[in-house]
Amino acid sequence: MQKLVIIDYGMGNLRSVEKKLLNFLPNIQISSDPGQIKEADKLVLPGVGHFGKAVNNIKNLGLWEIINEVVLLKKKPVLGICLGMQLMAKYSLEGNAKGFGWFDADVVRLKVEDNLKYKIPHMGWNNVVAVKPSILFEEIPSNSEFYFVHTFHVKSNTQQDILSLTDYESFFVSAFEKDNIFGVQFHPEKSHIMGEKLLSNFLKL
């Protein structure tokens, strides 16, 4: 039976991700233990908060190299959620720190012209518009609503990894995929039925 580890680096609400995943898979650990992460068949990299602080936390826990090893060498599927997705990019202006660099992308602040209509953080339900098909979005119609809470977003330097876009005055990347690596800017664990569907799709990989 597959073992999934939700990486605990001390930021954000991990329990809600765990609770949703437990609907589909009994063997789930929330862990910051290098040994457990090394043995995982799948990883979820969650997180809410400051990019620079997240990078420091992961490094201070001695997890940076191990996560890289599981994802890049062992090629285990990994799903980044919100800040977790942003950590997969090369660089973030939030704390001016380097991320894992699994995607050719940078993390920048959301920019809006009309700040009466478009408040920052982008907080609430918005449509996720498919750019290309993916197992992650199987049986999820393009334009489905998901729950977002973020101030920064991923700016991709290439088109090929982009799975979906979302419109907040202008379009930003709301999901991407490269080989075994998946990232979503929204919170599937808080997005009712479609969110559950997405998580169960990830577990099928």
Partner 1 sequence: MFRPRIIPVLLLQNKGLVKSVRFKDHRYLGDPINAVKIFNDLLADELVFLDISATKENRAISLDFVKKVGEEANMPFAVGGGITELNQIQRLIASGAEKVIINSHASKHPKFVAEAAENFGSSTIVVCMDVKKKFLGPLRTWIMGGHKSTNYSPTDFAKKIEDQGVGEIIVQSIDLDGMMNGYDIPLIKSISESVTIPVVALGGAGTLNHMADAHFNAYANGLAAGSMFVYHGSRKGILVNYPNRNEITKLFKDGINR
Binding flag, residue 187, partner 1 (CB under 8 A): yes
Instruction: Report yes or no: 173 and 129 within 8 Å, Cβ to Cβ.
Output: no
Here the tokens at position 139 are 């049986």
Locate 47 and state its tokens. Answer: 């997180």
Site residues for partner 1, window 103-132 (CB under 8 A)? Answer: 115-127
Q: Catalytic: which of 50, 82, 94, 177?
A: 82
Given candidates 59, 111, 192, 204, which one binds partner 1 under the rule CB under 8 A? 192
Q: How far is the CB of 6 from partner 1 (least distance, A)?
A: 13
Q: Using an 8 Å Cβ cutoff, are 63 and 32 in contact?
A: yes
Q: Which of 149, 165, 203, 205 binds partner 1 (CB under 8 A)?
A: 149
| Residue 94 is a catalytic residue | no
In whole angstroms, the minimum distance from the beta carbon of 172 to partner 1 comes to: 12
**162: which strand partners?**
176
Regarding 147 and contact with partner 1 (CB under 8 A), the answer is: yes
- Catalytic-role residue among 50, 138, 187, 192: 187
With H, G, I as helix, E, B as strand and everything else as coil, classify residue 189: helix
Q: Which of 6, 190, 199, 202 touches partner 1 (CB under 8 A)?
A: 190
Q: Is 157 in the site for partner 1 (CB under 8 A)?
A: no
- The catalytic position among 122, 153, 177, 189 is 189
Report 28-57 residues binding partner 1 (CB under 8 A). Answer: 48-50
What is the number of other CB atoms lying within 10 angstroms of the CB of residue 68? 13
Buried b (16+ CB within 10 A) or exposed e, 41-61: ebbbbbbbebbebbbebbeeb
Write 57-62 long-range contacts (CB < 8 A, 24+).
57/9, 57/10, 57/11, 58/7, 58/9, 58/87, 61/9, 61/32, 62/34
Q: Is 18 a catalytic residue?
A: no
For the record, the structure tokens of 132 come out as: 């290309």
Is 187 an active-site residue?
yes
User: 147 vs 182, which CB is nearer to partner 1?
Assistant: 147
Question: Could you list the residues that contact partner 1 (CB under 8 A)?
Answer: 11-13, 15-16, 19, 48-50, 115-127, 145, 147, 149-151, 167-168, 187, 190, 192-193
Catalytic residue numbers, as ranges = 82, 187, 189
